[in-house]
Amino acid sequence: MPPADIKASTAPVDADTRLAPGRPGHRRMSFALFAAGVAAFALLYSTQALLPAISAGLGVTASAASWTVSGATGALAVCVLPLSALSERFGRRTMMTASLAVAVAVGLLVPFAPNLEWLIALRAVQGAALAGLPASAMAYLAEEVRPQALIATIGLFVAGNSIGGMSGRIVTGWAAQLWGWRAALAAVGLLSLVCAVVFRLLLPRARHFTPGTLNPRALARTVRTHLADPLLGRLYGIGALFMTVFGAVYTVIGYRLVEEPFSLPQGLIGSIFLVYLVGTVSSAAAGRLVGRVGRRGALYLAGATTTAGLLLSLADTLGAVLLGLVLITAGFFAGHAVASSSVSRTAKTGRAQASALYQSAYYLGSSAGGTLGAMAFHAAGWTGTVLLGLLAVAGVAGITLYGTHSARTAERRLLLASAARH
């Protein structure tokens, strides 16, 4: 008989040291990235709920004021890929920390912008700084979390985004009503400072990161490889189109609610963003939804939910508009969680670049949605904004249908090839 200690040593051991629910460090990591998501979205969209007040305070049009949002998201879209390359060299944790630190510092300067031009410039710098966070976070999760827990964990990070977007808008709405839009931006800066400190204190050190070298040619090859991948290309398009809808709706909704027949004060308009809580739930539940209906099924449901919300929001009753926003928000966050997690699972190498390309497409969609949504509102009112959103959702449906058709065609070819061999 072998000794007891030798017998015990042959018991199965879980060799996978990556994080998963119930394992040490997973809860700390989840809270840390949740806090980072709160800070990032609160800062990135800090002016969105304030656009009517900024228009009035600086004497500018809705389209001009919308650049305080589009400038930040556009700069993020442009800078996310080069900063993701730096994360491959210096580490995900380092890049996320630096990004939040710079963005918070600029956020504390934004309230003192003397005019619209300075405000847009500072917001662009802030967006560029934040570019180091999202792709690095996705790559960190893909490396440090077990695959079966990845969608749920990314969903929690996205949920932090929704909480940040919601809290930032609510804080700015009421602060602007009480003390003006500049004080509102200062409040968001302080809130984000607290979240950044929590993030840095809680996030575990990376255990599965291998530093790479800064090789522009290798980076270009990796980017070309990702862009040539049909599935990744479809996911990038889906993320951009979903965000076009979301950016258009939430950039313009404040202007609609401040006008007749609603005539809501700034504080109540900010509180409308409580519907972001729906996004928290839908993004966190995306993993279960995929388990039941598959990824494409989840995208179809997200698109249908968003479409229903857009149509319902055309009504001139506050209850219908609110319900429409709930459906739009639920559909968007579910679709975003499914698409972004699919990118992390699909890319086998260069995950930071794959996530960066998704984030770039996503925030270009946000920038385009904000600007085009404001232009459509100026030209045709809320109906114009809704039509823009419906076109974008139709694009999501078209891409998903094409993906379904391609997958079925590939399956038939495999079956025919298998039959021919036998």
d(CA 77, CA 130): 10
Phi, psi of 145 (to 5 degrees): -115, 140
In the predicted model, is pLDDT for residue 163 greater than 60? Answer: yes
Q: Is 145 helix (H, G, I), strand (E, B) or coil?
A: strand
The pLDDT value recorded for residue 5 is 44
Give the CA diameter of the chain.
Answer: 88
The reply to whether 240 falls in a domain is yes
Identify the domain containing residue 81 by its residue range. Answer: 23-204+215-421
The pLDDT value recorded for residue 8 is 43
Across the chain, mean pLDDT equals: 84
- Predicted TM-score of the model (pTM): 0.75
The pLDDT value recorded for residue 12 is 44
Give mean pLDDT, residues 399-408: 82
The reply to whether 13 falls in a domain is no
d(CA 124, CA 132): 14
The pLDDT value recorded for residue 272 is 80
The reply to whether 246 falls in a domain is yes
The reply to whether 7 falls in a domain is no
d(CA 121, CA 113): 9
- Tell me: the pLDDT tens digits for 13-69? 456 676 666 677 778 888 888 888 889 888 998 898 888 889 989 998 888 998 999
d(CA 161, CA 201): 19
In 3-state terms, the chain is what percent helix, strand and coil (to 5)?
A: 85, 0, 15
- Tell me: the pLDDT tens digits for 186-243? 999 999 999 999 999 988 887 776 766 667 787 788 888 888 888 899 999 999 999 9
Tokens read off for 42: 């609160």
Tally of domains within the chain: 1
The reply to whether 11 falls in a domain is no
The pLDDT value recorded for residue 422 is 63
Asked if 112 and 215 count as a contact pair (C-beta separation under 8 A), the reply is no
Sequence-distant (6+) residues with CB within 8 A of 370 are 48, 66, 69, 70, 73, 247, 248, 251
CA count, 13 A, side-chain hemisphere, 159: 20
Q: Name the band, by pLDDT with cuts 50, 70 and 90, for residue 147.
A: confident
The reply to whether 304 falls in a domain is yes
The reply to whether 277 falls in a domain is yes
Match 């017998």 to its residue by tokens: 7
d(CA 394, CA 68): 28
In the predicted model, is pLDDT for residue 92 greater than 90? Answer: no
Question: Which CATH number covers residue 75?
Answer: 1.20.1250.20
The reply to whether 307 falls in a domain is yes
d(CA 372, CA 95): 32
